[in-house]
Structure 1
Amino acid sequence: MNNLHGKVAIITGGAVGIGAAIAKELAKNGVKVVINYNSSNQVAQELVASIQKDGGEAIAVQADVSTPEEANRLVETAVNTYEQLDILINNAGITRDRSFKKLSEDDWKKVIDVNLNSIYNTISPALNHISHSDAGRIVNIASIIGQTGAFGQTNYSAAKAGMIGFTKSLALELAKTSVTVNAICPGFIETSMITEIPEEIRKQIQAKIPQKRFGHAEEIAKGVLYLCKDGAYITGQQLNINGGLFM
């Protein structure tokens, strides 16, 4: 799918951070983007306006993708608006960091629902439409934490590791079709999750990264673009974008 012009993509959690960068990058390459958000209405609408100002096509759709009914409504809205669906980017995610001894059942369930169960909730209604595309793409935004684990993140790590396993299994099931399924595993990226970390801890993390810097959301977006545009023979893979922190 060297030419993405006219293709349609849903980006969950697409209003801010990595999701917003992905929406901008795909729109810049001719993709009609459906920006999903849960509570960031004003930011989502501003992003839509920015994309449209630059000549792209975009709409914003509110939906809590941790809920099957709302995820289904998101997909229906995208298809009813654009009459097709080619690309699904599962980017929605939250953290509720606690050491396991302090981790409540609600902290566990909410992170699993938003980060992991949401990909089932979106792919289930979307797959039939994506399968009709000449080159469908599913990209799940996982995390280096799903590969390495991290103190105080048993819930987040489990969800992201589950996303990686899900990606591999679904890729096998769809390998004989035109649909590819891949995961991107970002390292530490300059988003609100990083800027909220105390400066001293930020310095400690940065010192451990071989490239000695945090990544940028636009660099993750470039990885998504590559998989969507030139990734016809890439499926079931983890694309690590982490400055060499995990190899």
Structure 2
Amino acid sequence: MARARQERAEITRQAILDGAAIAFDRAGFGSTSLSDVVKHAGVTKGALYFHFPSKEALARTLMEEQFQVAEGVPAIVDPGLQTAIDLSHQMAHGLRTNVRIRAAIRLVVEFGSFTDPDPTPYNAWIETSFSCLKPAQDRGDVLPHLDARDLATYLIASFTGVQVTSHVRTTREDLHTRVTDLWNFLLPGITPAPRIPLFDPAGSPECRAALGLPAPDSSSVPVG
């Protein structure tokens, strides 16, 4: 019976997070009420308060979920430059297909841009990117005079701008194309020319297969 109660509680908790994601994705943090969350989740306010004491607690939980995209990085034997490229496409895919990731990123932008900004999510993504770029630099895939942490910071800032612009202009329909553009422009400035052809700005074949993306055309391959 205890296990059954735990399972029901977890189902309710996930329903609340799903409802909150829909509400935050549509209206943002400031314009979303707990009544909106309850309506989308199909639960009572009592159930909501049992799991989450406030709207901010709901938002914080959703923001933490975005990092599930990068959970596999520590398990990769040799993370590197292609890992960073693939992660950017995995996040792009999540933004296009997963309302909880979309809500999380919207909340990160809102919480990091206005009153009392919170840099924590950005810092976490910078560290994840650094964990790929520093090994890449150590093996000669990133130019030795570059600061790998500064490069990671620039990459996250660039991706943030790219995805926001894509959302405004095309509701992210062109996001993978714009992320590929980002890498096409970035690689010649950070990677020794003879090594540029080793990396696929459109994502590795394994990444594209996992995400259901088409094979890139020849224009996605940078000139070395």
TM-score scaled by length of structure 2:
0.34
Higher strand fraction (1 or 2): 1
Which structure is higher in helix share? 2
From the CA coordinates, give the structure whose radius of gyration is larger: 2
TM-score (norm 1): 0.31
